[in-house]
Amino acid sequence: MTFQVPLTKSSLDVHSLGKIEGWHYADGVEQYCGIPYADLPKRWTRSVLKTSWPDRYHDGTQLGNNCPRPRVSGSDSSPMNPFIPVPPNPTFTRTPISDEKSALVLNIATAQQPSVEPAKQKLPVFVWIHGGSLLFGSANYGIYDTVNLVSHSKTVGLPIVAVSINYRLGLGGFLAGAKIAEELKRDGFAGNGNFGFTDQKVALDWVQRYIENFGGDPNNVTVVGQSAGGVSIGHHMASNHPMKFHRAVCMSGLGTTLRALSVEEHENLFQSTCRYFDVDPHAPDALDRLRQIDQQVLADADSVIQGVPTGTGNPCLDGWFYAHDPQELTEAPSYVESFMFGDVHDEGVIFILKLRKDTYDTVRATLIKHVQDESFLNFVFNEYGITPDLAQAVLIDRVCTMAADAVFKIENYQTGIDNKRLREEGALFKYHFDQRSRIHNVLQGKSYHGFEVIYLFRNLDTELNEAERAMGSDLQTAWLRFVYGQAPWEEESDTSLWKIWGPNSEEQIETEEEDEPIRHYSRFKRVISLGSGGLWERYLLGLDALVLRKG
């Protein structure tokens, strides 16, 4: 299965908005794209729910625009990741452009046929939040096209409505500072920065108001995110103003994966941004002058200003969006009915490019600057076999494993322990994705960050063999069962169980004891046990500095 070819156009009336045209597929799935969910009058303000369409019409047969992202190798961020080479969907003949004011759009695929007849039942809603370090990505990328997933949902009798959303990224989506906070207050808003997150909330507000027109149930919404998408979900769980959802799936990213910066750190970043563009950060018109900077020039400057190879978007602990620091979140809020999360086997390969020039001495110096505890660092290095005499390739591999454990896997492990309510309710589900890639690139043979998305959306079946496609169908069904409020795999009373996908298109449920030779949970426990009194937080800051070159 690759991209399906629509049979014909479809159209329906959306209450209070007007007529929308889209695509009708052979199995009855309908798709409506580029739907604007918010108005954005200027850069660095809150987006506002869009409640009207020009001329009461929207052409949903084409994709909308993208939020500005940094260009890679001199060209706009490619919609085709070389490690997950899903091409653009040829159904959409118009190539999306980057335009910050018109890019807050969403795409819908529905198992209902709302253009043919009114919905007979309200279907669960699956909302996809793309990853990309809060810096890259778009819901418009071919890999995230949801038609195949929705078709599968019909086949297995678990029909859904799928929504994928854009949100602001990088400096355009997460810059904060006193000037921004003051202007927001003058304009009748609140907070400081976090525009990408509040965009996500507005998108879910749109779902609440309009998704019934497409056959969806606004009272049965599951948010699903990979990497920064999962991070986003985790940060909303720590928010005073979260997007409205009922279940959550975090794939290779939790609220603890990417920290929110303090107001003081953001003020420094704001002033650095001003100085980079020769703007006086204290001038009354500083924001207006920054708004005159071309959107692509601003996006491209992100990594230079942060002084890192690629950087990330930076959430802000502004005292308004957040109820508390996501790093302190121990349990999902009471409104979360069920929670699924997991990781891939080789998460650490995303750090290789950042570490390729490091030596034992530079790794140690960066970490000790933050950890400030020789005995703890010696203990961790001993756990991972990191010694001065290692060949550089072996050293980097072990440092990547150490970083991936701390940033992804130990946090997942601890989240499974902390969520007592959901665990006792049988509503907590954990997985590891170990399936190896056979795609011909430098990561062939690895189960790398983002690779599992191929199996969820099934838009690159040409790269999968029969056994892999069968496992992909099972994975899709598991996610759909979860969206329906069911157990995604067989329920067990043992809370130490993890679902394991792969490595050879196999599926099993194993206890942590059975999986110990692969995952080394006992090492997780030992590292966590020594990280008390703020030591763990300092260790994470050190890894942040090491793998992202921050600080």
Q: Which domains does the chain have, with CATH numbers?
A: 8-306 (3.40.50.1820), 330-548 (3.40.50.1820)
CA distance 3 to 302: 34
pLDDT at 154 over 60: yes
Strand 247-251 to strand 338-344: parallel, antiparallel, or no bridges (unpaired)? parallel
Residue 318: predicted pLDDT:
96
Residue 494: predicted pLDDT:
62
CA distance 23 to 38: 23
Which contacts qualify for 527-531: CB closer than 8 Å, 24 or more apart? Answer: 527/379, 527/380, 527/383, 527/405, 527/406, 527/410, 528/410, 528/414, 530/376, 530/379, 531/376
pLDDT band of residue 323 (cuts 50, 70, 90) is very high
pLDDT at 75 over 90: no
CB 47 within 8 A of CB 38: yes
CA distance 5 to 383: 52
pLDDT at 1 over 70: no
Residue-wise DSSP of 84-146? B-PPPPTT--SPP-B-TTT--EEEEEESS-TTTS--SSPEEEEEEE--STTTS--TTSGGG--
Task: Please compute the mean of the pLDDT values over residues 338-352 and round it to a whole number.
Answer: 95
CB 180 within 8 A of CB 193: yes
CB 439 within 8 A of CB 80: no
CA distance 7 to 5: 7
pLDDT band of residue 22 (cuts 50, 70, 90) is very high
Q: Which residue's structure tokens are 């091409």?
A: 87
Sign of the C-alpha dihedral, residues 72, 73, 76, 78? negative
| 342 phi and psi angles, rounded to 5 deg | -175, -170
Single-letter code of the amino acid located at 386: I
pLDDT at 81 over 90: no
Tokens representing residue 229 in the block = 């998408």
Single-letter code of the amino acid located at 152: H
| Average pLDDT in the chain | 93
CA distance 281 to 271: 5
CA distance 137 to 228: 10
User: Which pLDDT tens digit goes with each residue over 487-528?
Assistant: 999 866 566 899 999 999 999 999 999 999 999 999 999 998
pLDDT at 76 over 50: no
Q: In 10 A of CB 504, how many CB atoms?
A: 10
Tell me the three state secondary structure of residue 167: coil
User: Which pLDDT tens digit goes with each residue over 106-145?
Assistant: 999 999 987 777 767 899 999 999 999 999 999 999 999 9
| 249 phi and psi angles, rounded to 5 deg | -125, 120
Question: What are the C-alpha distances in Å from 341 to residues 129, 215, 233, 234, 320?
Answer: 14, 27, 11, 11, 27
User: Which pLDDT tens digit goes with each residue over 268-318?
Assistant: 999 999 999 999 999 999 999 999 999 999 999 988 888 665 567 899 999
pTM for this model (two decimals) = 0.96
Residue 493: predicted pLDDT:
56
- What is the rounded end-to-end Cα distance, in angstroms, of the chain? 45
Tokens representing residue 265 in the block = 């750190």
Measured CA angle at 406 (ends 404, 412), to 5 deg:
95
CB 79 within 8 A of CB 63: no
CA distance 420 to 416: 8
Task: Please compute the mean of the pLDDT values over residues 235-240 and round it to a whole number.
Answer: 97
Tokens representing residue 230 in the block = 């999962």
Residue 111, CB-side half-sphere exposure with 13 Å CA sphere: 25
pLDDT at 399 over 90: yes
Tell me the three state secondary structure of residue 57: strand
The percent of residues above 70 in pLDDT, for the chain, comes to: 95
Segments of 255-387 assigned E as strands: 338-344
CA distance 423 to 417: 8
Residues 6+ apart with CB under 8 A from 403: 348, 351, 543, 546, 547
